[in-house]
A and B are shown apart, each in its own frame.
Chain A
Amino acid sequence: MAGSRLEKFGTVFTRVRDLMRSGVVKQSDKPIWYDVYKAFPPKKDPLYVRPVAKIYGKKEEAVPDIFYREDEIRAKFYEVYGTGPRAFDLSKSNFVSTCQRFVEKYMELESWGELEKQSLFEETGKALLAEGLVLRRRSGPVVASETRDPVLGMKLTDMLAELQTDAPGETPTPGEETPTQAPVTPQ
């Protein structure tokens, strides 16, 4: 059966339609899917899109970032407490993690409107402690700063200066002896 192998021009449907219109493909040889496509076409024509050369420089973001108002609370929570005491169980779809409980409590306290922003964080921690959820503050920063080996900090010029200051009188003595050591030649 005749066909058109030009996948870069037009869609599958337009090629077959034009082949039939021109008489190359007989009505009896119509493919099974032709009528179905005609009745239920896809939302977007499956045209071939040529690859565009990469655009360098700043281009606007086509896909927006997803951020929620609770993300601020979550960020602060993770910074202060690290990951919560309980691990995430992703197999359950209705699982509520420690962080999520914290966020919900925070939103609840905020909605009451009694406390100020600064103390809200502390109050949430206390409220959860009252409910039985213990949160331990993280001791140090997440990435501990590495202690540099003190040997690497020594500088040669400093060492020499130390030697100079430690023994100021002793250093010239080897120099004095040499001129006095005049060889006495017997005549």
Chain B
Amino acid sequence: MGVVVQWKLLTRDLMRTTHSMDFNYQSYFFDLQWEGTARASMAAGVLTKGLCGLCQPRIVAAGYSCSGPLYATATAVKTLPLQTDSTAVTDKIQNLPLETSDFFRLSELFSLKDLFDARVHLGHKKGCRHRLMEPYLFGNRLDQDIIDLDQTMEHLQSALNFTAHIAYRGGVILFVSRRRQFGHLVESTAGDCGEYAHTRYWQGGLLTNAPIQYGPGVRLPDLIVFLSTLNNVFQQHVGVRDAAKMNIPTVGVVDSNCNPSLVTYPVPGNDDTPAAMELYCRLFKMTINRAKDKRRQMELLQGLSPAGLTPGSS
């Protein structure tokens, strides 16, 4: 029987280590009816129990550990019978959004003026500039780099679109940011949209050594969103390279001192101003919620009328 355990975890204060064994994680199951394929039959793994950042491999016991007061909400138990005709319908649900260029109408979520007011166009000084960011810069005003917002609009649209499709298909999205100033913001954003966040120290083998650190059969994220691709010493975050290694696509906000080469969907923009970060978090949250709501709607329609599936259903 195939099970994938899904948690909604948040990383919390590292100092308060309470081993809260209130949750009997084995009692929460989520049968993925649309993934009634061999993929779902892979062994279950609690993914984000390890994403609290402080998880020492020693503490891992019985496949579950927490180094902080993590709170989890279980997803509903759904046991839908596998039917051959329903797989065709679910395939249709899966592939329908790919036909339209902006199926989730994400272009109405932001405008160029919003980006400008949130100071997304402000880059760092000329000396901090990364060679590979030069194509994305509009110019240099009195030694400060100005990011080209026309390009940012296109990149942001494509990044949000990708995120929405991944969320629509039930993918696991991980928000990463090592900026301490916005750690809480990123974590609460992830919690609000039902996804995951990692804003603490990134252990070396988090992605590359996951089966050993967190138990066999861990499900890795399907998309990693970097709200800042740098770590605290102004080097590229290890997660960017690790995600490329593990064939996980990445969406990342790249400032003028970042390296955009390994990020799958880079979004050139400011990652230092609170206004800009709040804008990004709000946009990602709205995108993911929209995509998930759309999915639920499509499935409800499928439940009511298997034959009638209109693309314009809203």
Contacts and interface: CB of A to CB of B under 8 A. Distances in A.
B131 interface: yes
A33 B171 contact: yes
Interface stretch (A38-46, A129-137, A161-169): A38-46
Contact of A39 (B98, B140, B264): B98
B92 interface: no
B11 interface: no
Contacts of A32: 166, 169-171, 222
Contacts of A37: 162, 249, 264
Contacts of A39: 98, 165
Interface residues of B, number: 49
Interface in B1-55: 37-39, 42
B140 to A, nearest CB: 5
B137 interface: yes
B223 interface: yes
B83 interface: no
Given A7-B241, A32-B169, A36-B169, A15 B263 contact: no
A122 interface: no
Interface in A1-15: 1, 3-7, 11-13, 15
Interface string A27-67: 01101110111011011001111001000000000111110
Contact of B137 (A6, A33, A43, A63): A63
Given A35-B98, A46-B263, A48-B261, A5 B245 contact: yes
Interface in A134-155: none
A149 to B, nearest CB: 36
A93 interface: yes
A62 B140 CA distance: 10
Nearest to B242: A7
A9 B157 CA distance: 27
Contacts of B131: 52
Given A49-B261, A65-B140, A66-B139, A12 B248 contact: yes
| Main SS at interface, chain A | loop
A117 B20 CA distance: 78
Given A64-B139, A66-B139, A46 B261 contact: yes
B132 to A, nearest CB: 6
A30 to B, nearest CB: 8
B66 to A, nearest CB: 27
B134 interface: yes
A63 B247 contact: no
B154 A33 contact: no
A16 interface: yes
B261 A12 contact: no
A46 B264 contact: yes
B177 interface: no
A26 interface: yes
A64 B162 CA distance: 32
A63 B264 contact: no
Contacts of A66: 138-141, 146
Contacts of B250: 46
Contacts of A26: 38
Nearest to A52: B131
Contact of B155 (A43, A46, A49): A43
| Ranked 9 nearest A-B pairs via Cβ | A7-B244, A66-B139, A49-B261, A39-B98, A36-B165, A66-B141, A5-B245, A62-B134, A32-B171
25 contacts: A1-B42, A5-B245, A12-B249, A12-B264, A26-B38, A32-B169, A32-B170, A33-B166, A33-B222, A33-B249, A36-B165, A37-B264, A39-B98, A40-B98, A40-B101, A43-B155, A46-B250, A46-B261, A46-B262, A46-B264, A46-B266, A48-B262, A52-B131, A64-B140, A66-B140
